[in-house]
């Protein structure tokens, strides 16, 4: 048996998760439709005034993205847990952290990336300027992976628990607040003519920090849950 390189392993896990998801496309679409619906509900709730909507847009899009990413967290490990694949992953000689990182990246491609691509269309509904839209995309690109990573820890901790879906939101949402603050802060900064560099840098810093620590923490959480 030839030994897999780390990148090979990562690609293998990502390909596997993507292929599994492509066989059940409805799951991916549900998250995206939920995101679009939540964002579209806000104008109906607060009124169609464009000035106010423009001001609210980054916050609304970001909160909706946060909620949508919570929705799909339960799926990250549960299928593998139920059919025993996860146990095999824990026993595998390869690093569990890298396996987990692969699963997180696949989860982001399926639940985060579609939101990022959809966000500009929703931004137009709120009459955002082109410049703001670009910053919104950049902040979502930097921020949504962090949501997936923090969410992975919560998903691993609540694996196989009753009422896990609500519980995972309770655990993860408070930890995601800094991402929300800097993400919306960047869009608001560009709308009021200030520099976005500081907000995007902080988001990038959170991304790097999460990239380094959360796969390992998630792996530990999985070990605790699977004992």
Partner 1 sequence: MTINWFKYSAPSTFYGLAGKLVPWFAWLSAILFATGLYIGFFVAPTDAVQSEAYRIIFIHVPASIMSMFLYLIMAGYAALGLVFNTRLSSMMASALAPTGALFAFISLWTGALWGKPMWGAWWVWDARLTSELILLFLYFGFIALHASIDDPRRADRASALLAILGSVNVPIIYFSVKWWNTLHQGSTVKFTGTSMHVAMQQAMFITLTACWLYAIAITLARVRSIILERERNTQWVDELPEVRS
Residues of the shown chain interacting with partner 1 in the complex, contacts defined by CB under 8 A: 153, 157-158, 161-163, 167, 170-171, 173-175, 177-178, 217, 220-221, 224-225, 227
Least distance from C-beta 213 to partner 1, angstroms? Answer: 9
Choice between 134 and 216, CB closer to partner 1: 216
Distances (CA, A) of 59 to 67, 100, 102, 124: 12, 30, 29, 14
Choice between 136 and 153, CB closer to partner 1: 153
In terms of C-beta density within 10 A (0-12 exposed, 13-18 middle, 19 or more buried), how is residue 195 classed? exposed
Least distance from C-beta 85 to partner 1, angstroms? Answer: 21
Distances (CA, A) of 2 to 5, 8, 9, 15, 43: 9, 11, 12, 19, 57
Least distance from C-beta 135 to partner 1, angstroms? Answer: 19
Distances (CA, A) of 113 to 71, 117, 182: 15, 6, 19
Choice between 56 and 171, CB closer to partner 1: 171
Choice between 97 and 125, CB closer to partner 1: 97
Least distance from C-beta 160 to partner 1, angstroms? Answer: 10
């Amino acid at each position: 048996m030839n030994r897999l390189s780390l990148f090979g392993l990562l690609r293998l896990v990502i390909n596997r998760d993507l292929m599994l998801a492509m066989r059940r496309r409805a799951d991916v679409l549900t998250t995206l439709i939920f995101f679009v619906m939540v964002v579209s509900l806000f104008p109906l709730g607060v009124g169609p005034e464009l000035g106010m909507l423009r001001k609210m847009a980054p916050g609304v899009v970001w909160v909706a993205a946060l909620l949508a990413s919570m929705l799909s967290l339960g799926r990250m490990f549960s299928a593998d847990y139920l059919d025993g694949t996860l146990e095999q992953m824990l026993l595998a000689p390869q690093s569990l952290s890298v396996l987990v990182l692969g699963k997180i990246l696949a989860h982001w491609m399926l639940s985060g990336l579609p939101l990022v691509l959809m966000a500009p269309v929703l931004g137009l509904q709120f009459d955002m300027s082109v410049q703001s839209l670009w910053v919104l995309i950049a902040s979502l690109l930097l921020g949504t992976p962090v949501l997936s990573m923090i969410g992975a820890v919560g998903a691993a901790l609540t694996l196989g628990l009753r009422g896990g879906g609500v519980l995972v939101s309770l655990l993860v949402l408070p930890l995601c607040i800094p991402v929300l603050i800097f993400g919306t802060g960047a869009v608001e900064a560009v709308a009021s003519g200030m520099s976005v560099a500081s907000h995007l840098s902080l988001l990038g810093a959170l991304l790097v920090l999460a990239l380094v620590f959360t796969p390992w923490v998630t792996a530990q959480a999985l070990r605790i849950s699977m004992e």
